[in-house]
Chains A and B, each alone.
Chain A
Amino acid sequence: MIKKLTPHPSDWPGVNPQWSHTLAIPSTASVEAEGSVRTWHYLDNLAALKSAGKEPVGTVLCVHGNPTWSYLWRSVVAAASEGEQPWRVVAVDQLEMGFSERTGLARSLADRITDLGDFTAALGLDSTDLPLVTLAHDWGGLISLGWALGHRDILSGIMLTNTAVFHDSAERIPVALQAALSPTLHSWATRGSTAFIDVTLGLAQAPGGLPAQVKKTYKLPYTTAEHRTGVRNFVADIPATEAAPSYRPMLRVAEGIKELDVPALMLWGTKDPVFQRRYMADVATRLPQADIHRFENASHLVAEDEDIATPILEWLGQHFIRQQTARSLHVQAREQLNPAGDDYRPMIAEVEARAKDTSLAVVDMDAAGDGTSVARQLTWQQLDAEVTRIAAGLHKLGVQRGDRVNLLVTPGIDLTALMYACLKLGAVIVVADTGLGLKGMTRALKGARPTWLIGIPTALAAARSLGWPGTRIAATALKPAVARALGVVGSVADFETPSTFELTYPQPDADAAILYTSGSTGPAKGVVYTHRQLAAMRDAIAGTYDLAAGNGLVAGFAPFALLGPALGATSVTPTMDVTKPKTLTASALASAAAAIDATTVFVSPAAIMNVIATAGDLNTQQREALGKVGTVLSAGAPITSALLAQLQDIVPAAALHTPYGMTEALPTTDVSFETIQQAEADAADGMLGAGGGVCVGSPVFGARVQIAPLLADGSASAEVTEEPGVTGEILVSAPHVKDRYDTLWVTEGVSTSTPGWHRTGDVGHFDAVGRLWVEGRLAHVLVTSQGVLTPVALEQAAELVPGVRRAAAVAVGQTGAASPVIVAEVGPRFEGKKTRAGRAPVELTRRVRQAVLEQTGVEVSAVLMVAEHPTDVRHNSKIDRPVLATWSRKVLAGKKARVGKGVIAW
């Protein structure tokens, strides 16, 4: 006889002892003898709610996996018990697990599904008028869904955390699980020792692991081998092959849930070595209605790694209490703010309309040479033919409308033609640029899970070795041996021109593209645009800069390269190393401009410095070409007036514009050099709201901006204002704002919490004449004893001090009582000595403190210095302030600390 376990819930941290219950329940599973009765343990807050005089609005049924137990759900039980509209949460310990009975029987998946039915019947959960929603983890996912299929009359919704419902026996089992499944290891790991339990608990991501008491509690019901038999049998029942007894029941559930049309929520820790993103993608295809959030910093025990209770209750509230989702509110409000006109014109329309035009459409400068000669060019007629050829070829290979296609091709004609082919076909373009770094790209692509990957050879090789998803297609002609080695199914070079290829336009509100943020405040986020929104982006650019057919456009900045053909402008790609925008030379830029008589130049801010530095190499002809340029646009990072003045000398006739925007709203506002100068003069004159940040001008064509004022705790208010001088989060609404974030339900909810608007996460204010001034990121706001401070004004003041190349303002100490600190970037050498990261010399400290005090009235406690700030890869401009803040805190506590360099930690 196995020793009976007695729960002592008062010893379990985070559990109200009143929640713990034990109940004897008749068992009908086929593994059981007739008439057997089993003792179950479970957590249930109903009695606690009633004793507090509360009535639940619905029930959540939580099903754990292996080897956890109901303790996994304590945060959900606690959070659900709070508030005016509490939920009853029933978290079961499955038989053989937790504090439920050890029967000595080996239960299969089918038995466990029956067990759960016995349990809910005994608890009286099977008849209810209130919503009943399941929540599950690990193998509990399959069991809860099996139960759901048998209880569809009372099922209102399903929630899943890291799980799998189907394993394709042709695919490899995750390495992490192979060990546990190995016949020699498995019994030892799961029953003979606590290895399986220890490894599972060890997956918690908190530094130092789970708190000791929590870990101890998880292990309480598994102290002896006899009590761990269920752990072993659970692993043994995993249907890794078609021959496994539970394979068919698994298949039945996996197929069955495709018919479930109830709301679904999936919360996924993407660092899970077992329930990897491929399983998430599989579940997502079976539950297309699911709202999905990927927690990029969480692993298998997502309930321990992240606060899942808050999003769960928010989601439950939207679907079952308020009966209105945040998404539907947002979409409604968005349509009211930006009514869809009847003038929608697809991106591809311009190319198709000019199918007979023999003037130049796209030009590539010679990438191999010094960038002064043309390598390749297409007329509009040729471009249209090329786009059609590629679209037809992709179609023939099996690329479907709505398929995600990852394009890993160098900017230029090839990329342009591929993009427009995808737009024509209705395939969704995924653009994870090299600016994210290899690690960032891998992360981004695994998140977006494109079906196809079209790339140049180096990209195909990277895709193969790094496991980037998508069936591979070569962008260029490959030798057969190479094609085999890279595992490609075809090559764009081999596509044939079809005799006829007619397609209707994709739906305007269907997904068209996924772009990526640069990840200055966490992992890069995928941003989804519809066809209508891309077209609106084109119109915003055209309307703001008066760009129309006949213009010549130098595409020195990738995001806008896409727009040339849609705008009807002739576009040229200058020679540069796309992974290093700083490599663009003045000569390469001028030759590109000369090749098409360019009127407009798009250039990245990082390139401007090099263009200025190499301007001496320009010949007369090149200077003339640049003299004809009417507009220069540079987006991505602020540029100082001093640099703009130097740039003006090179393009004397051009209006210099530095639009402000973000991947979610490209662009948001526009400002010219002239306006900046006026704004700086106004700031010196003391105009209300002028100063204290970077002036980014006024909303672009079609866009609206408002401010959600900062509160005393450094967060942004729910109220909004357009009053000058009030600092807050910048909100934008425009037809060209993103549709949504890709599988980031929580992030999406935050960004659209003011329905109809995108909360940018930037902070700023208006001045008296309606110009917007950006003051930094909301996440970088300093909540100090001197008040709530925004970084940019402090940094601009510090940068006035000679020797300070760039400054970052961070806070050390506790929120609210923190102290502002400046971290100065001084270059590799300072005052004749090699720069040692750490405390700045006393004199530099004094000067910086003085400058900041004079300009802003803020007294910084310390000044630190580094040779170079850690920044984003894409722009080399977004300083990783959290890394600097952590470092500063350690240094100023008197500890040794190393500052990360170069690449932002993802």
Chain B
Amino acid sequence: MVVSLRPITASDVAPRLGERVLLTGASGMLGRETVFALLRAGYDVRAFQRGDAGIAELLPESVTDRFSQVRGSVNDAAVLSQALDGVDGVIHMAAKVSVVGDWADYERVNIEGTRAVLDAARGAGIRKFLNTSSPSVAHTGSAIEGEGNPPASPEHARGNYARSKAAAEQLALSYDSADFWVGVLRPHLVWGPGDTQLVERVLERAAAGRLPLLNNGTALIDTLYIDNAADAFVRGYQRLEQIHGTPLVVTNGQPRTVAEILAGMCTACGVPAPSRSLPARLAVGLGLALERIWSLRGTDEIPPMTSFLAEQLSTSHWFDQSLTQQLLDWTPAVSLEEGYTQLGIFYGDRFSR
């Protein structure tokens, strides 16, 4: 079931602006919440993804006529041109996000897909384009401490996902011009209620007592609560004139130790916080072994521990948000602590039973 944390109600929708935004990849948590945030801000929204985003049924009647959906692949030019008909701007989120899979798939979806959307949008005379990227496009896996927004580097980015996103970001920025603004946001570790990727895996495994800390969970990391992420994308779209050409990492601006973040999520949901610790090197090794086994089994599933995850959980990565907040003229509205509380309200005793 698709659930929005902030189900949209008629009363909090701004008057119609008469501007339509195409959002690709609306079936993910961030895509869906950004659609809601755009509607709330007064935009018309067209969602574009392979399946049904499940959004229409969550909308109050007063806004149903402002939402539409086109289903298809970004690599399909005909459907794409149909999706772009009557659109004023694009937020491109569609991507292959995983830690496994062949490079060819990443290249097709993340690089060629982005190229297709860029070409189609520019060809359609659209002037506003906001691309979704990731902080991992500029990093090699070493500690990140209060860094700004270094350029993407496909040569150095680690793993197929980061590498393809880095190339896609470079590609997108190469389209940026005075009459085709291309902005890039790099949200970092988005989480929130209903998040199957991170939150629910953490809670499930912590409840089962199978979530160790790595190196005692001392690494300082940044995360981004989902509502803030969605708001940042609306803001990014509105501020394209200011941000185009400059990739911006987006976080809550509240670095915390891994242990504290996990404890915050767990405690809010009545699950004991992880307390056992493994050496990070052991976990990285375990991840590498599991990845090999999984790849031999030829499955698309993600192993329970990956070397990437082990590194993420034991290496600092937090960012300087000053430029982001200045250019977006925005600060996150929901603190981490409020976010934990929302998890507790959302999940109730689902994981603590």
How many A-B pairs have beta carbons closer than 8 Å: the answer is 79
Name A838's contact: one of B216, B273, B318 (CB within 8 Å): B216
The answer to whether A817 and B320 have CB atoms under 8 Å apart is: yes
Of B99-107, B226-234, B257-265, B289-297, the one touching chain A? B257-265
Q: In the bound complex, how far is the Cα of B315 from the Cα of A845, in angstroms?
A: 20
Q: In the bound complex, how far is the Cα of B308 from the Cα of A53, in angstroms?
A: 56
Name A894's contact: one of B148, B219, B321 (CB within 8 Å): B219
Q: What residue in chain B is nearest A864 (Cβ atoms)?
A: B218
Q: In the bound complex, how far is the Cα of B323 from the Cα of A816, in angstroms?
A: 12
Q: Which A826-883 residues sit within 8 Å CB-CB of chain B?
A: 838-839, 842, 845, 859, 861-862
The answer to whether B260 and A894 have CB atoms under 8 Å apart is: no
Q: A residues within 8 A CB of B322?
A: 785, 816-817
**Is there a chain A Cβ closer than 8 Å to B69's Cβ?**
no
**Is there a chain B Cβ closer than 8 Å to A270's Cβ?**
no
**Is there a chain B Cβ closer than 8 Å to A724's Cβ?**
no
Q: In the bound complex, how far is the Cα of B316 from the Cα of A229, in angstroms?
A: 52
Q: Which A493-544 residues sit within 8 Å CB-CB of chain B?
A: none
Q: A residues within 8 A CB of B255?
A: 819, 861-862
Q: In the bound complex, how far is the Cα of B253 from the Cα of A861, in angstroms?
A: 10
Of A182-190, A420-428, A791-799, A885-893, the one touching chain B? A885-893
Q: A residues within 8 A CB of B316?
A: 892-894
Q: B residues within 8 A CB of A891?
A: 218
**Is there a chain B Cβ closer than 8 Å to A644's Cβ?**
no
The answer to whether A785 and B253 have CB atoms under 8 Å apart is: yes
**What would be 17 A-B contacts, judged by CB atoms less than 8 Å apart?**
A813-B146, A813-B318, A816-B320, A817-B147, A817-B148, A817-B320, A819-B146, A842-B263, A842-B267, A861-B254, A862-B260, A889-B145, A891-B218, A892-B316, A893-B143, A894-B218, A895-B215
Q: A residues within 8 A CB of B314?
A: 894
Name B215's contact: one of A817, A819, A889, A896 (CB within 8 Å): A896
Q: How many residues of chain A are within 8 Å of chain B by beta carbon?
A: 22
**Is there a chain B Cβ closer than 8 Å to A671's Cβ?**
no
Q: How far does the Cβ of B171 sit from chain A's closest Cβ, in whole Å?
A: 28
The answer to whether A893 and B215 have CB atoms under 8 Å apart is: no
The answer to whether B320 and A894 have CB atoms under 8 Å apart is: no
Q: In the bound complex, how far is the Cα of B307 from the Cα of A733, in angstroms?
A: 60
Bitwise, B238-261 to A at CB < 8 A (1) or not (0) is 000000000000000111110110
Nearest 4 A/B pairs, CB to CB: A813-B146, A817-B320, A894-B219, A893-B143
Chain B residues at the A interface, C-beta cutoff of 8 Å: 143, 145-148, 214-220, 253-257, 259-260, 263, 267, 273, 280, 314-316, 318, 320-322
The answer to whether A819 and B220 have CB atoms under 8 Å apart is: yes
Q: B residues within 8 A CB of A862?
A: 220, 255-257, 260
Name A839's contact: one of B143, B217, B253, B267 (CB within 8 Å): B217
Q: What residue in chain B is nearest A891 (Cβ atoms)?
A: B218
Q: In the bound complex, how far is the Cα of B87 from the Cα of A119, in angstroms?
A: 77
Q: How far does the Cβ of B272 sit from chain A's closest Cβ, in whole Å?
A: 12
Q: A residues within 8 A CB of B273?
A: 842
Q: How far does the Cβ of A101 sit from chain B's closest Cβ, in whole Å?
A: 46
Q: In the bound complex, how far is the Cα of B257 from the Cα of A892, in angstroms?
A: 7
Chain A residues at the B interface, C-beta cutoff of 8 Å: 785, 812-814, 816-819, 838-839, 842, 845, 859, 861-862, 889, 891-896
The answer to whether B254 and A814 have CB atoms under 8 Å apart is: no
Q: B residues within 8 A CB of A838?
A: 216, 218
Q: B residues within 8 A CB of A812?
A: 145-146, 220
Q: B residues within 8 A CB of A896?
A: 215
Q: How far does the Cβ of A669 sit from chain B's closest Cβ, in whole Å?
A: 36
Q: How far does the Cβ of B48 sit from chain A's closest Cβ, in whole Å?
A: 36
- Assuming the contacts A892-B218, A893-B143, asked whether A814 and B257 have C-beta atoms less than 8 A apart, the reply is no
Q: B residues within 8 A CB of A892?
A: 145, 218-220, 257, 316
Q: What residue in chain B is nearest A821 (Cβ atoms)?
A: B220
The answer to whether A814 and B145 have CB atoms under 8 Å apart is: yes
Q: What residue in chain A is nearest B258 (Cβ atoms)?
A: A894
Q: How far does the Cβ of B188 sit from chain A's closest Cβ, in whole Å?
A: 15
Given contact pairs A845-B257, A862-B257, a sample of 19 additional A-B residue pairs in the complex whose CB atoms are under 8 Å apart: A785-B322, A812-B220, A813-B320, A814-B146, A814-B147, A817-B322, A819-B255, A819-B318, A838-B216, A839-B259, A842-B260, A845-B260, A861-B220, A861-B254, A889-B145, A893-B143, A894-B215, A894-B280, A894-B314
The answer to whether B146 and A785 have CB atoms under 8 Å apart is: yes
Q: What residue in chain A is nearest B311 (Cβ atoms)?
A: A894
The answer to whether A814 and B320 have CB atoms under 8 Å apart is: yes
Q: How far does the Cβ of B172 sit from chain A's closest Cβ, in whole Å?
A: 25
Q: What residue in chain B is nearest A817 (Cβ atoms)?
A: B320
Q: In the bound complex, how far is the Cα of B5 from the Cα of A133, in angstroms?
A: 74
Q: What residue in chain B is nearest A836 (Cβ atoms)?
A: B216
